[in-house]
Amino acid sequence: MILDTFLNASKLTLIHVILIFGLTGLITAALFLLQRMICISFSKTTGWKGVYLTAWIGIPVHELGHAIFCLIFRHKINEVALFKPDKASGVLGYVSHNYNPKSFYQSIGNFFIGIAPLLVGSLILYLLFDTFFPDLAAEPVKSKFELDNFNNSTVSVLKEVYSKISANISIVSGTLIKPTILSVIILYIMTSISAHIAPSHTDLKNALPGFGLLVALIFIINLVLSFLKINSASYVDWFTTFLGRMHGILIFGLALTILTFILIYIPLFIFYLIKRKKLLNPFY
């Protein structure tokens, strides 16, 4: 009986972790790679300062995301540098903060503070788009994941993600066919934000302890519900709906970042080809 309850809680926790962090993790990884490719492309062509073209807007938004979540999780902010480039370290900005490690709430907050630029940046991108370009964008991801049908569920979700990325890129690029001064300015602001939306390597490293605590909390909740024989389907359905909306916004951010990379890489590629007589490798 106890073993069955433990196994049921473990299975539910695995499902919830995959639901919450699976697609989010893939999107974050893709954004991180694209962000790195953009920085490398700038570094090889225009020099390190070339990244300023997008960083002067994108980095303050990135750091504000950290600062906002520091306040939410009651971390003490020591210093905020919204844009303070340092060529030696490669740092463009930072938020220095500390917390009480004995506080579970503050400790688990490390995870959300680490991924805050992703959440805040994607939300700002969506609000800008929805305000100035009111078309179909950031639609919720409706595919549901089933652990017992892992392969089909994964394929279904990935197909929907691909479809939504393509649709969002088409919508955004469509605004460039007949551009106005306002649309060009807004798109420039959006592309600058999307180019720096991903958490940095340091951000992700700092988020790991909070991630572990969050998984432990999910397991404890599922264990208690299993002991009390409470069906978690109702709150899971609500949370799945919330995640679908969040993933829709994140996918919009990813689509815009892909478009940003294309718009930045093509002219830099041509410049590098003419100047160096070889192809521009954006990976390393």
Q: What is the pLDDT of residues 71-102, one digit of tens each?
A: 999 999 999 999 999 888 889 999 999 999 99
What integer pLDDT is reported at residue 198 of this predicted model? 92
**Most confident region among 33-42, 130-139, 149-158, 233-242 by mean pLDDT:** 33-42
User: What average pLDDT does this structure show over 2-8?
Assistant: 80
Number of domains in the chain: 1
Residue 185 to residue 202: CA distance in whole angstroms: 31
The verdict on residue 72 lying in a domain is: yes
Rg (CA), the chain: 21
The verdict on residue 155 lying in a domain is: yes
The dihedral over CA atoms of 80, 84, 87, 90, expressed in degrees to the nearest 10, equals 40
Residue 211 to residue 107: CA distance in whole angstroms: 9
The verdict on residue 280 lying in a domain is: no
**Most confident region among 119-128, 171-180, 230-239 by mean pLDDT:** 119-128
Task: Answer whether residue 22 shows pLDDT above 90.
Answer: no
The verdict on residue 279 lying in a domain is: no
What integer pLDDT is reported at residue 170 of this predicted model? 86
Give 226's pLDDT tier (boundaries 50, 70, 90).
confident
User: What average pLDDT does this structure show over 37-61?
Assistant: 91
- Of 16-30, 134-148, 198-212, 246-260, the range with the lowest mean pLDDT is 134-148
The verdict on residue 282 lying in a domain is: no
The verdict on residue 116 lying in a domain is: yes
- Domain region containing 70: 2-272
Average pLDDT, the chain: 87
Contacts of 196 (CB under 8 A, 6+ apart): 35, 54, 55, 58, 59, 61, 62, 92, 117, 121
DSSP string covering 97-126: EE--TT-HHHHHHHHHHHTHHHHHHHHHHH
23 against 230, higher pLDDT: 23
What integer pLDDT is reported at residue 278 of this predicted model? 92
What integer pLDDT is reported at residue 184 of this predicted model? 87
What integer pLDDT is reported at residue 135 of this predicted model? 61
Give 148's pLDDT tier (boundaries 50, 70, 90).
low
Q: Where are the alpha helices (DSSP H) in 135-232?
A: 150-174, 181-194, 201-227
Contacts of 36 (CB under 8 A, 6+ apart): none
